[in-house]
Amino acid sequence: MAGSTVSSETAVDKPKQADLDRCVHCGLCLNACPTYRQLGVEMDSPRGRIYQMVQVSQGAPITESYMEHMDLCLACRACETACPSGVEYGRLIEAARAEMDPHVRRSWVARLTRRFVFGHLLQSPGTMTAIGSLLYLYQASGLQKLVRLSGVLKLMGKLGQLEQLSPPAEIPFFFSKIGKTFPAEGERRYRVAFLAGCIANVSFASLNEATVRVLQRNGCEVVIPGGQNCCGALHVHSGIRDEARKLARRNIDAVLSGNFDAVISNAAGCGSTLKEYDELLEHDAEYAEKAGQFVRLTKDVSEFLASIELNPKMGAVQATATYQDSCHLLHGQKIKTAPRKLLAQVPGLEFREMPMADICCGSAGIYNVLQNEMSMEVLVAKMGSVNSTGAQWVVTANPGCMLQLEAGARLYGAKQRVLHVVEVLDEAYGLYGK
């Protein structure tokens, strides 16, 4: 942040020349880029942004225009999948944002908000519990429903638009489970650590509980390590890499001594960052090797479950479902078939592939808050694809995508039910024998 001390690690937080040189400017990434698809502006394409990064690397100033183009990127990394030259665009955009962060002019309100959210809220279970409790009262009292039906949100401008994306608060919060161990059902086949996230402990407590149950059903002893904290994904995406490094070290310390077969995440965005701790800490003499060990253990929950013999004792789920690829699962972690393989094993579930399932829904971490207008444009296009399937359920693999798609189903869809892959499995296991 502006005015902060620059560490030796921060000094290397800029796009690497070797990564920039990989781009041959062929343009095959253009159609994969959500912002280019919406705007048709070269500077808002991966190729155009890399061109601008090259100019900065050669001494051009970091201008307001440059920062606007970098900020408008969803960092969905679809261009990585499309790129024939292996350009690691995710590394580039994150490094570019870190490099430009000290140059960003923010009001004192914006600076305080940023410090509170990234430096305190995401790392404080107590503060998150307090705010989550207020949110729960707003929702459970019926006030949220009344506000939405009244039409007053249309008069509130951007604030009203953001309210549509407010996450649920699910009682009891999952914080109470951290530090506990849940035994496997039947014979123990694996011992795994589950990283519960930060906001997910409040807004996706039921998803975290479902994840534990499904892992237990599949012979896993599930440990929720007591020393874990926020993964740092939102920090990395926002250019606050030094703070992300602190969080990475804490998570590594919480896990490595536990003799686990795998470290499990149910959030694709978090998992993508967890799997890149080795890059984040590559210049840390004490943690570089530890980070490598951590990365080798880390699995998305769908990736892990698809790699083992899945417990077949599921009841029939009578529903039609489509699947939206989470960008950081598909493009970041290169996982496409695992979620579909799991859904195919659910009795009674009719699966319908949606067109352009690999195009971003517009969530992108907190992008839908910071760049709400573009996010909603991307969401409208996505809901067109969802609606075309006629599916009752929209399944995905990331909590942020779930929030975005829930808003999409409510505003532009047919009130489809939005679920995580693990929640579908959990529902099927609950129906067994009924």
Task: Give the model's confidence band at 114: pLDDT under 50 very low, under 70 low, under 90 confident, else very high.
Answer: confident
Q: Is the pLDDT of residue 209 over 80?
A: yes
| Average pLDDT for the chain | 91
| 265 and 357 housed in the same domain | no
For residue 362, which of 414, 404, 419, 394 has the smallest C-alpha distance? Answer: 404
Task: Please tell me whether residues 58 and 78 are part of one structural domain.
Answer: yes
Check residue 158 and give its pLDDT: 65
Residue 270 covered by a domain: yes
- Measured from the Cβ of residue 205, the count of other Cβ atoms closer than 10 Å reads 22
**Residues 366 and 413 both lie in one domain:** yes
Q: Which two tokens stand for residue 106?
A: 């923010």
The pLDDT of residue 168 is 86
**Among candidate residues 307, 332, 352, the one where a domain is terminated:** 307
Report the distance separating Cα 189 and Cα 45, nearest Å. Answer: 46
169 in a domain, yes or no? no
**For 12-31, how does the pLDDT look when each residue is reduced to its tens digit (9 = 90+)?**
689 999 999 999 999 999 99
Lookup: tokens for 150:
């009244």
In this prediction, residue 161 has a pLDDT band, given cuts at 50, 70 and 90, of: low
Ranges 108-112, 277-281, 389-393: which has the least confidence? 108-112
With bands split at pLDDT 50, 70 and 90, how would you rate the model's confidence at 8? very low
The parent domain of residue 131 ranges over 108-163
What pLDDT score does 74 carry? 92
Which pLDDT band, with edges at 50, 70 and 90, does 4 fall under?
very low
* Residue 276 predicted with pLDDT over 70: yes
Over residues 283-287, the mean pLDDT reads 94
Q: Are 20 and 98 found together in one domain?
A: yes
**Are 75 and 99 part of one and the same domain?**
yes
| Same-domain status, 205 and 294 | yes
Residues 383, 334, single domain; the answer is yes
Give the pLDDT band of residue 275 (cuts 50, 70, 90): very high
Q: What pLDDT score was predicted for residue 432?
A: 85
CATH number at residue 325: 3.40.50.10700
In this structure, are 145 and 237 located in the same domain?
A: no
Number of domains in the chain: 4
Quick one: 266 and 358 in the same domain? Answer: no
Which pLDDT value is given to residue 1? Answer: 35
Same domain for 132 and 192, yes or no, is no
| Interval 88-92 mean pLDDT | 93
Using the predicted structure, report yes or no on whether residue 205 has a pLDDT greater than 60.
yes
Last residue of a domain, one of 103, 133, 149: 103
Confidence (pLDDT) at 5: 38
* Residue where a domain stops, chosen among 278, 307, 336: 307
On whether the CB atoms of residues 153 and 164 are closer than 8 A, the answer is yes
pLDDT digits (tens, 9 = 90+) for 167-195: 888 999 999 999 999 999 999 999 999 99
